[in-house]
């Protein structure tokens, strides 16, 4: 089998680390793997299943010797290096939101629109995590029943803000437990200094992810609308989202209500979802089985459960709950799946 | 001013304790206050703003000497004592779900249907916490614009399972922090023994509150539909809910999308809500102000923010986020407000 030389830009971040694991788990035929990090990490050695690799800083030479570059170092780095990566004839798969809405940059979820990936001009965008997790569940339902309306409320883990988000939750929680001496009534009076988030996240939730837009939605919320349209190639579906940060570590959850063109039953929907790639039906209330972030952490399939006929939309309505590891399907896994389309 | 003799049944629970505070905060004209608890607590002395009160066990005599009984000791106790409380000519205001759906038991939120309270036959029911918090915000919008559809996803605190729910979250969180040594990757592998909830709640969420019904909704979710209809006196409104337990201590939050009969703008909605009793508009994204459970804890008004025109329903649609202390408006405060209607 042909091998590909791969470089990961942002290799020490939460997503970068997950990318290394995904290359292994998906048996990606890695020729040479190079790991790019910041000046601060240069020279450190990382143990991987592809051997010990020395972290290096970004350079043209890295891309000249690589076939595929997985970028997860923020939009600014992606924007700064795009032209040089493309000039080096290295395929750029970018996890930032920098190019997602450009006309000639495909936005790809391999279970949904793998063909779009072929039309790239050197850059393929990886979708927003919340969108990707919802999309693998919504797409088969769209194909089978036709989506008219999608109403989402999210329960997003601190890992969405990277390793520093997870650390802030753990540190803050420990501080609050100490200061409150385990007294529930004292918790809301504890003093904590938020850094990664706008407000305290320990024992709190924050209905604010990314910047506010003029229409009152946040950019995170609008990404779900914009990106679902682009990935599905259909902007007639009405999609709205409320995005909420909650005190969990990893795996996002979403409560989703849909209205469909055709009538839909719970049994039909379950059958469709059980046959879908990237989806795992976890839906047995009698045994208290339903998606939960702790159970979804580290797993590749997006969990879907609590599937029921929605009261509001009746026989053209369905309601369900999903949990998916946003570092995997929401980021690293999807990026490596895109790369695999080119093997 | 006339005084009323009051008895609180379940005085040592989270709601019972909040009831004592609410009687004081609302300047309820308490004549004699008696506190009923379990055999185990009998004889203990509780310091209140009405003096030191000795806990006693339940008896006919307690109700014979009281004008109003605030019950918050679970549905079984309420059912067992109902006839004797009524026979003693003591008005029973019951926080359990035991009688809420009986035809001749008014279900009351004083900001919405105070007149219904007058039609009691000895018992008045206090609504479910999630319903009550949503109802004070939905009612003025219903009066102004007419509600057609209401789609809710909740973020419910562990206090919904009483003091033991809050303690379980704190204890479990401390155990997980110790066992994982603050390593985010180890958290999902920690072993915890759930008691108050079906699954671990530390750094997790559980889309399951109360028992599952045949239609796939939980009883908690159906309560929101049933009780909104009864309180509003209008069962033509389509209401659906997904109820999720999250690792917070106190104050429930809800993400709500509505479709209205009349067109509605954000400015009109805000004006209506700012004029509404029991509601506090906290909605200034530029200053990162929006409802959050940590901020809503211990406050009487239900916070509403993130008010925006909903993309899916267009000019007849609105979307917003609410947080309210479910031990207060969702339980103790509403019960004492009902009692005040009879002063």
| Domain extent listing, chain B | 4-127+332-340, 131-156+209-326
**From start to end of B233-301, where are the E strands?**
238-242, 252-260, 279-281
Q: What is the mean pLDDT of chain B?
A: 96
Whether A241 is catalytic is: no
pLDDT single digits (tens) B248-300: 999 999 999 999 999 999 999 999 999 999 999 999 999 999 999 999 999 99
Pairwise CA distance, residues B131 & B254, whole Å: 10
What's the full length of chain A, in residues? 343
Element (H, E) at B306: strand B302-309
Contact state of A242 with B321 under an 8 Å Cβ cutoff: yes
What are the backbone dihedrals phi and psi of residue B278, each rounded to the nearest 5 degrees, phi first?
80, 0
For A4, which DSSP code?
E
Q: Where are the alpha helices (DSSP H) in B239-292?
A: 266-274
Contact state of A286 with B199 under an 8 Å Cβ cutoff: no
Judged by a CB distance cut-off of 8 A, whether residue B176 touches chain A is no
Residue B1 has pLDDT above 70, yes or no: no
Determine the pLDDT at residue A12: 95
pLDDT single digits (tens) A153-163: 999 999 999 88
Contact state of A204 with B293 under an 8 Å Cβ cutoff: yes
Pairwise CA distance, residues A8 & B21, whole Å: 58
Judged by a CB distance cut-off of 8 A, whether residue A284 touches chain B is no
Of chain A, the percentage scoring pLDDT greater than 90 comes to 92
Contact state of B199 with A307 under an 8 Å Cβ cutoff: no
Pairwise CA distance, residues A134 & A241, whole Å: 11
Pairwise CA distance, residues B64 & A80, whole Å: 80
Q: Where are the alpha helices (DSSP H) in chain A?
A: 14-25, 60-64, 75-87, 114-117, 129-145, 163-180, 184-187, 219-232, 266-274, 293-296, 333-340
Determine the pLDDT at residue A172: 95
For B313, which DSSP code?
T
> Which residue ranges of chain A lie beneath pLDDT 70?
1
Q: So what's the ipTM on this one?
A: 0.96
pLDDT single digits (tens) B80-94: 999 999 999 999 999
Pairwise CA distance, residues B48 & B54, whole Å: 10
Taking CB atoms within 8 Å and a gap of at least 24, the contacts of B171-178 are B171/A182, B172/B200, B172/B201, B172/B202, B173/A173, B173/A177, B173/B202, B173/B203, B173/B247, B174/A177, B174/A182, B175/B202, B176/B200, B176/B202, B176/B203, B177/A170, B177/A173, B177/A174, B177/A177
Q: Which residues of B touch A203 (CB under 8 A)?
A: 169, 247-249, 293-294
Of chain B, the percentage scoring pLDDT greater than 70 comes to 100
Q: Which of A239, A288, A298 sits opposite B208 (nearest CB)?
A: A288
Residue B239 has pLDDT above 80, yes or no: yes
> How does residue B326 score in pLDDT terms, banded at 50, 70 and 90?
confident
Minimal Cα distance from B202: which residue of A?
A248
Contact state of A199 with B288 under an 8 Å Cβ cutoff: yes
Query: At the topology level of CATH, where does B131-156+209-326 sit?
Result: Dihydrodipicolinate Reductase; domain 2 (3.30.360)
Judged by a CB distance cut-off of 8 A, whether residue A79 touches chain B is no
> How does residue B231 score in pLDDT terms, banded at 50, 70 and 90?
very high
The whole-angstrom distance between B205's CA and the closest CA on chain A is 6
Pairwise CA distance, residues A253 & A325, whole Å: 9
Determine the pLDDT at residue B2: 87
One-character DSSP codes across B191-213: ----SSSSS--TT--BS--SPBP
Q: Which residues of B touch A198 (CB under 8 A)?
A: 288
Pairwise CA distance, residues B239 & A40, whole Å: 54
Judged by a CB distance cut-off of 8 A, whether residue A265 touches chain B is no
Q: Which of A159, A288, A311 sits opposite B238 (nearest CB)?
A: A311
Q: Which residues of B touch A293 (CB under 8 A)?
A: 203-205
pLDDT single digits (tens) B176-211: 999 988 787 788 888 889 999 999 999 999 999 999
A76: buried, middle or exposed (CB in 10 Å: 19+, 13-18, 0-12)? Answer: exposed
Q: What is the CATH number of domain B4-127+332-340?
A: 3.40.50.720
Determine the pLDDT at residue B147: 98
Compute and round to an integer the Cα radius of gyration of chain B.
21
pLDDT single digits (tens) B144-171: 999 999 999 999 999 988 889 999 999 9
Interface of A with B in 131-170 (CB under 8 A): 149-151, 153, 155, 159, 163, 166-167, 169-170
Whether B252 is catalytic is: yes
Contact state of A216 with B163 under an 8 Å Cβ cutoff: no
One-character DSSP codes across B130-141: HHHHHHHHHHHH
For A336, which DSSP code?
H
Determine the pLDDT at residue A190: 86
3-state secondary structure of A127: coil
Pairwise CA distance, residues A298 & B189, whole Å: 11
3-state secondary structure of A15: helix
Pairwise CA distance, residues A241 & A154, whole Å: 7
Q: Which residues of B touch A266 (CB under 8 A)?
A: 216
Determine the pLDDT at residue A156: 98
Judged by a CB distance cut-off of 8 A, whether residue A190 touches chain B is no
Q: Taking a C-beta distance cutoff of 8 angstroms, is the pair A225, B311 a contact?
A: yes
Minimal Cα distance from B288: which residue of A?
A198
């Amino acid at each position: 089998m042909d091998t590909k030389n791969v470089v990961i830009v942002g290799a020490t971040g939460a997503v970068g680390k997950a990318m290394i694991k995904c290359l292994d788990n998906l048996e990606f035929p890695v020729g040479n793997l190079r790991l790019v990090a910041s000046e601060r990490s240069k020279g450190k050695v990382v143990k991987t299943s592809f051997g010990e690799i020395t972290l290096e800083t970004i350079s043209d030479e890295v891309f000249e010797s690589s076939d595929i570059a997985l970028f997860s170092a923020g939009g600014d780095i992606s924007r700064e290096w795009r032209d040089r990566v493309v000039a080096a004839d290295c395929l750029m798969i970018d996890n930032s939101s920098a190019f997602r809405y450009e006309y000639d940059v495909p936005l790809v979820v391999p279970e949904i629109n793998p063909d779009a990936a072929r039309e790239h001009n050197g850059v393929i965008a990886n979708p927003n995590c919340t969108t990707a997790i919802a999309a693998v569940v919504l797409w088969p339902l769209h194909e089978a029943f036709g989506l008219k309306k999608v109403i989402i409320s999210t329960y997003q883990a601190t890992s969405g803000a990277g390793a520093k988000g997870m650390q802030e939750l753990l540190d803050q929680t420990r501080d609050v437990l100490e200061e409150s001496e385990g007294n529930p009534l004292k918790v809301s009076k504890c003093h904590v200094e938020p850094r990664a988030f706008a407000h305290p996240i320990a024992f709190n939730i924050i209905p604010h992810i990314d910047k506010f837009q003029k229409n009152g939605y946040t950019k995170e919320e609008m990404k779900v609308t914009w990106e679902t349209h682009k990935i599905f190639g259909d902007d007639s579906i009405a999609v709205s989202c409320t995005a909420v940060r909650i005190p969990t570590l990893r795996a996002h959850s979403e409560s989703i209500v849909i209205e469909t063109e055709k009538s839909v039953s719970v049994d039909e929907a379950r059958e469709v979802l059980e046959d879908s790639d990237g989806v795992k039906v976890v839906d047995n209330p009698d045994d208290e089985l339903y998606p939960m972030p702790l159970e979804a952490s580290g797993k590749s399939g997006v969990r879907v459960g609590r599937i029921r006929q929605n009261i509001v939309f009746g026989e053209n309505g369905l309601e369900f709950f999903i949990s998916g590891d946003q570092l995997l399907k929401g980021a690293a896994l999807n990026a490596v799946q895109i790369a695999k389309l080119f093997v």
